[in-house]
Homo-oligomer: A and B are copies of this chain.
Amino acid sequence: MAHDCAFLEDLLPSDRVSFRADARDEHATDFGTDVEGQGVQPDAVAWPDSTADVSAVLEAADERGVPVTPYAAGTSLEGNAVPAHEGISLDLTRMNEVLDVRPEDFQLDAEPGVMGPAIEEAAGAHGLFFPPLPSSGDISTIGGMVVNDASGMQTVKYGEVADWVLGLEAVLADGSVIRTGGRAKKTSSGYNLGELLVGSEGTLAVVTKVTISLAGIPEQIRGGRAIFETLDDAAAAVTDAVQSGVDVAKIELVDATSARMANNYLDSDLPDAPMVFLEFHANHGIEAEIDFCRTVFDAHDPLRFELGDEEEMETLWTARKELAFAVADWDPDLAPLVPGDVTVPISDLPTMVRQVQDVAEEYDVLIPTFGHAGDGNLHYAILVDHGDPDHVERGKAASDAIVERAIELGGTATGEHGVGMGKREYMLREYGEATVEAMRSIKYALDPNDTLNPGKIFPETADGERVRRPARMER
């Protein structure tokens, strides 16, 4: 159902509102969602450049029953920022100022549209960095990272984006502006609204300002890689290193299929074998930590364990970051069905890695596997010929099987990509009815008209209602 969004012209200058097909097209997809699949074009695109703009648009849309879906770099993978019910795409990329850096407190304030490199540049000028930057950090925004609760290669040592958000300014659906957290390193004052907004995928509020913590760039940084004969050995080595308490800053698993795809895409010469890419951070004594890691790995029959110089490591990390593109580029007849992401307890990582291989065999689909293995976080892409319905069907069944097995192992349907539209159907399986209903209650409390990013996170209700007043409020 198209919505009348002409009111936007009264709220924003004409160069910051568009009803044109090209602008609407650009806001109808993300990196994992095809417009012909699940997403739909918005009726209009609006580019606020202040909190006041966001507030005005939301208040007006909320009064008129017009859905608003926040959008930024469009790098999400589960349709998180793709309109499910038309309405307005609220594009935050023009709110892209680093507002303040306070190196004396390891803090930075930014508008939501600031890109990862601008954060790193502003922090780096003071010898600081933002540790949880996701692998897509070069092309994604801080606001997107926050509302999707992103994480990255360094999360194994430093934690998720959630752990580095100190304070937020955000606008609720009715236009009211709230402020969570603050500048203190810790607080137990009132509810943790900030933590609730982190990962809420724009369904509860539009984040208009973030205060993040930064860390000092370590004095010593060394990288390397270990090459294994089997993927099982590589996974076991990662698990053993984490369980042994090796202090590692990155520990990434890359299977042989992914390595081949990277070589093809980047013209690189990675070995055609399962690998673990490593990075260590320390202020002193880094050699002792590397030796410790090598000793642990030695128990898992690595073919090689080798350190790299800066240039060699740059090549490895580029290959790792570009894997999502390399996978998509591999075969013109195949495209990723789901760029998936599950996380399991670290002791179950080898089991999960094995199960992904078994699923690939069982359903006869190609599934390159890689990821933040030190967190028990696996990425996998299920490659199918989208013109072949049977292939697509097998791919979907494989995807379901992987997520189901992750949940059975006590894991989660998504470690860092969020639910969006792609993983709604697993919410009940992961949490059960009462917990999902509690989440619905919170959604209703903050956004009773379901104005903000409707159709995300929650499984569709049986009667197709977008939102409902929770039963507990009827008594």
List residues of chain A with CB under 8 Å of any chain B CB. 102, 104-107, 148-151, 155, 159-160, 162-163, 172-174, 176-180, 182-193, 195-196, 198-200, 204, 216, 243, 245, 247, 283-285, 288-289, 292, 343-347, 375-377, 410-419, 423, 426-427, 430-432, 434-439, 441-446, 448-449, 457, 470, 472-473, 475
* CB pair A105 B177 closer than 8 Å: no
Question: How far apart are the CA atoms of A173 and B415 in the complex, in Å?
Answer: 30
* CB pair A188 B414 closer than 8 Å: yes
* CB pair B435 A448 closer than 8 Å: no
Known: A192-B198, A410-B182, A436-B190. Is A102-B345 also a contact (CB below 8 A)? yes
Question: How far apart are the CA atoms of A435 and B189 in the complex, in Å?
Answer: 12
In the bound complex, residues from chain B placing their C-beta under 8 Å from that of A107 are 345
Contact residue among B179, B185, B410 (Cβ-Cβ distance under 8 Å from A375): B185
Question: How far apart are the CA atoms of A419 and B187 in the complex, in Å?
Answer: 10
* CB pair B185 A346 closer than 8 Å: yes
Other than A151-B188, A185-B346, give 20 A-B pairs with Cβ distance below 8 A: A104-B243, A104-B346, A105-B345, A107-B345, A149-B192, A159-B163, A178-B438, A179-B431, A183-B410, A184-B345, A185-B345, A188-B417, A189-B413, A189-B419, A191-B443, A193-B196, A193-B442, A285-B285, A438-B446, A441-B446
A440 CB → nearest B CB, Å: 9
* CB pair B184 A410 closer than 8 Å: yes
A194: nearest chain-B partner, CB-CB = B195
Contact residue among B160, B245, B414, B472 (Cβ-Cβ distance under 8 Å from A174): B472
Question: How far apart are the CA atoms of A280 and B36 in the complex, in Å?
Answer: 57
* CB pair B377 A186 closer than 8 Å: yes
A277 CB → nearest B CB, Å: 19
* CB pair B285 A415 closer than 8 Å: no
Question: How far apart are the CA atoms of A426 and B432 in the complex, in Å?
Answer: 37
* CB pair B193 A438 closer than 8 Å: yes
A415 CB → nearest B CB, Å: 5
In the bound complex, residues from chain B placing their C-beta under 8 Å from that of A189 are 412-414, 418-419, 423, 426-427, 430-431
Known: A192-B199, A216-B245, A288-B285. Is A416-B448 also a contact (CB below 8 A)? no
In the bound complex, residues from chain B placing their C-beta under 8 Å from that of A412 are 182, 184, 186-189
Can you list 27 pairs linking A and B with CB atoms under 8 Å apart?
A105-B347, A106-B346, A160-B186, A172-B434, A180-B435, A182-B412, A184-B343, A184-B410, A185-B376, A186-B412, A187-B415, A189-B412, A189-B423, A189-B427, A191-B196, A191-B200, A191-B443, A192-B200, A193-B196, A193-B435, A193-B438, A193-B439, A284-B289, A285-B285, A285-B288, A448-B473, A449-B475
